[in-house]
Structure 1
Amino acid sequence: MTGHEKSFRTTDGVRLVYDDHGSGPAVLLVHGFTCSAAHWAFQREALVAAGYRTLALDLRFHGRSDSPASGQRVSRLGKDIGEWIEHLELDDVALVGHSLGVSVCLAYFDLFGTERVRAFAAIDQSPKLVNDETWAWGVRSVEWTNVWDAVNGRFQWGNPALEPPMPPHVGELLAEAGSPADFPVGAVLPLLADHFTADWRDVVPTVDAPAWVATGRHSPSFPLEGMEWFAGTLPDSSLSVFENSGHCPHWNEPEEFNRELLAFLGRPLR
């Protein structure tokens, strides 16, 4: 374990590993499905340089954290965030989530509210993934008739053709942090199914902390209209659309993304 690598045990006995860098107001980074804390490298450097204590968790089943036989539910991951904040003894955190990490943050808010959260940033995630008569802005091409096929990888959901070509710096990040394509998805299909079938829309208007929604103009996963709904339904929120990005604007355009994130958090980029 390195000097920045730390861990704690949840109430159900699972060891979760996180990285802790810098000092100052705390920013907690919650990665997406098949990723890890290491995939926040671009943001960690900028946040630490700007005077923030930057903490990035490996969610259970991901990275260096345990992969237990139980807990393959987004709500359990949300509880893990609550227990992490309790372990850290923090009362005024900024939560930043990407993809699944946004849903995990919404699960946290559903369980614990916003009392200990001063700000919330959500990167390219719809609060509802399945499209139906009540919602047209979920994952592209996924409906109730084919959601189980999507979960089991029987067809390519979303529209990968929309994703811009990978910039060289993203390739370098994935070579260092690990490629999501190498993640053993088959071991966590119940978690993916739970993620796909959840509906967090009723939680969104209860998140009364200042919020920022970020998305890529060319997201292969979600239509822009859904991100506009998300930002418009959060009580105190703004929306940024990154013109040269898809699902991961924090990777594709890290300098511009970090400038906007830091502006949202209240400290300009040094």
Structure 2
Amino acid sequence: MTLRYDDEGEGRPVVFSSGFQAQSAHFVWQRDALVQAGYRVIRYDHRCHGRSDLPEHGQRMSRLALDLGELLTALDLRDVVLVGHSMGANVSLAHFSIATNPWERTTAFVAVDQSPKIVNGEDWQWGLRGITEQNVFDAAHFRFEWFDNAREPAMPDFVKELVDSIEPSWETFPFDKARRLLIDHMVSDWRDVVPRIAVPTLVITGRHTPFYELEGMRWFADTVPDGRLSVFEHSGHDPYLNEYPEFNAQLLEFIAQH
């Protein structure tokens, strides 16, 4: 299986792990800002995403976590700032859970708008809005509308043009192969990993995210031993797109501090 990535710039490496159906090309404005600031930027596509291969096998979070670990090892990356958006944040948590010593390579972590547990239940109400044990499989097959796009602020026109130009689009994404990954992502529970994160962590969310409650993002930041929360007031699920200048500024500040 071939995993494809872009490796640009020099200096401390910053690795971007994207969300379900998203891909490395979405982080173009972060690449520009970080390379200009003297950092090395690695943006990769998960299996079945973007330019990477589309195998039938390995459509589960544990395999994506191993993919991430193998990428870090193959490039022999050290002192990594790992940035995970949406599912990419939980791929990062899975990597922290599986790797023998993840802190040997990763020294700072940024998690963008992702709950460590998507399914709500008696012991957890900060998962994805409206998703329960009873309907999670129907949600993964899109048998009902479980996301409220009306909450999501509009992207700047030129940002939306870029997102719309990236293939595969939502309409052409290979759900037939990636469905098992989405199900595994939705039913996984990474809460036990969060208090064991041994590096400084920045948790980012948008005030208007259609997916998660602010209290859950605050739990994430407060449960990490060295965590902090940042709320983007004019964004939903994608503050790195909606408010990319401020996002980049905060990311650069966080990296410089750690």
* Shift >4 Å, 4+ stretches: none
Letter in 2 for 1:41: V
How far, CA to CA, are the matches of 1:29 and 1:80 in structure 2? 13
Structure 1: any 5+ residue segments left out of the alignment? 1-13
2:157 aligns with 168
* Residue number in structure 2 paired with 1:50: 37
In structure 2, distance between residues paired with 1:169 and 1:181: 20
Q: Secondary structure at the match of 1:15?
A: coil
Query: Which residue identity is paired with 1:169?
Result: F
CA contact (8 A) 1:140 1:159 kept: no
Distance 1:140 1:82 in 2: 30
- Relative to the length of structure 1, the TM-score reads 0.91
- Picking from 69, 93, 98, the partner of 2:80 is 93
Q: CA deviation at 1:250?
A: 0.2
Identity %: 52
In structure 2, the partner of 1:219 is 209
Q: Distance in 2 between matches of 1:180 and 1:239?
A: 30
Task: Tell me the equivalent position of 1:237.
Answer: 227
Asked if the contact 1:128–1:197 (Cα under 8 Å) also holds between the matched residues in 2, the reply is yes
Provide the alpha-carbon RMSD of the alignment.
1.1
Match of 2:187 in 1: 197
Instruction: Give the Cα separation in 1 of the matches to 2:171 and 2:155.
Output: 14
Corresponding residue for residue 154 of structure 1: 143
1:125 aligns with 2:140: no
Q: Please name the residue that 1:116 is paired with.
A: 105
CA distance in 1, matches of 2:28, 2:166: 8
Q: What amino acid sits opposite 1:17 in the alignment? A: R
Give runs of aligned pairs for residues 62-101 of structure 1, distance below 5 A: 62-101=49-88
The one-letter code of the counterpart of 2:28 is A
Q: CA shift at 1:182, angstroms? A: 3.4
Distance 1:252 1:15, change over 3 A: same
The amino acid that maps onto 1:139 is L
Q: Secondary structure at the match of 1:266?
A: helix
Q: TM-score, normalised by structure 2?
A: 0.96
Residue 181 (structure 1) shift? 4.3
- Of 155-164 and 21-30, deviating more is 155-164
Structure 1 distance, partners of 2:103, 2:7, is: 22
- Point out where structure 2 has 5 or more consecutive residues left out of the alignment: none
Deviations 1:166-187 (A, max 9, x none): 3213212213433344322232
User: Could you list the per-position Cα deviations for residues 125-162 of structure 1 after superposition, in whole angstroms to 9, with x for gaps in the alignment?
Assistant: 00000000011011111101100110000011132221
In 1, the alpha carbon distance for the partners of 2:171 and 2:244 equals 21
1:60-105 per-position Cα deviation (integer Å, ceiling 9, x unaligned): 0101111112101111100111100110011211100000100100
